[in-house]
Amino acid sequence: MEELIYNTQTLRDRLILELQARCGLRIGEALKIKVSDVVEWKLVLNEPKSGKELEVAFMPEQIAKRLHDYIQQEDLTPGDRLFPICYSTARALIKQLGGRLNVVLTPHDLRRYSATYASRNGVPLEIVSKVILRHQDLKTTQAYLGRVTESEAIRWMDVLHGR
């Protein structure tokens, strides 16, 4: 995933990948974001899938900086969408970028990667679920993360209790 992100040719495409793979956004959420929804390191998600009026997603500082640079570079105004492309274009873009590395990739794979990466790096399940993925139920998040391998279980026991 890191290679895919770093080898992306345009800032727009890189940001689309990063917002999904690093911030856990759904592709539909990323495509609806307007400039006015970007507040420092936060993204205000209007009418999210949860049915709430809005949710907030968080970005690492370096992505927030890239996003602010992109807004200035593209001379976007508060009412402009960050990425004025449709879902099918975004889906084709991600499929094409994955194809360069001989990987079959969908937008949802990037969101799943975000959760898996955080979990494998010790982020508590509650944070992965409620903050990164913004799920209502921990069981939904657990389905994303899949099965823990024996080697992972051993590694985490060593991390937890020292070697």
The tens digit of pLDDT for each residue in 27-45 reads 999 999 999 999 999 999 9
Task: Catalogue all structural domains in the chain, each as residue range(s) with its CATH number.
Answer: 2-161 (1.10.443.10)
Q: At what angle do helices 107-120 and 87-100 cross, to 10 degrees?
A: 60
> DSSP class of residue 136?
S
The values of phi and psi at residue 45, to 5°, are -100, 105
Burial of 35 (0-12, 13-18, 19+ CB in 10 A): middle
- Identify the pLDDT of residue 148: 65
pLDDT in tens, 115-149: 989 988 889 888 888 888 888 887 877 777 766 67
Pick the closest to residue 46 from 19, 36, 152 (CA basis). 36
pLDDT at 139: 80
- DSSP string over 34-75: BGGGEETTEEEEES-TTSSSEEEEE--HHHHHHHHHHHHHTT
Cβ atoms 163, 154 nearer than 8 A: no
CA-wise closest residue to 90 among 64, 110, 70: 110
pTM: 0.84
pLDDT digits (tens, 9 = 90+) for 57-116: 999 999 999 999 999 999 999 999 999 999 999 999 999 999 998 999 999 999 999 998
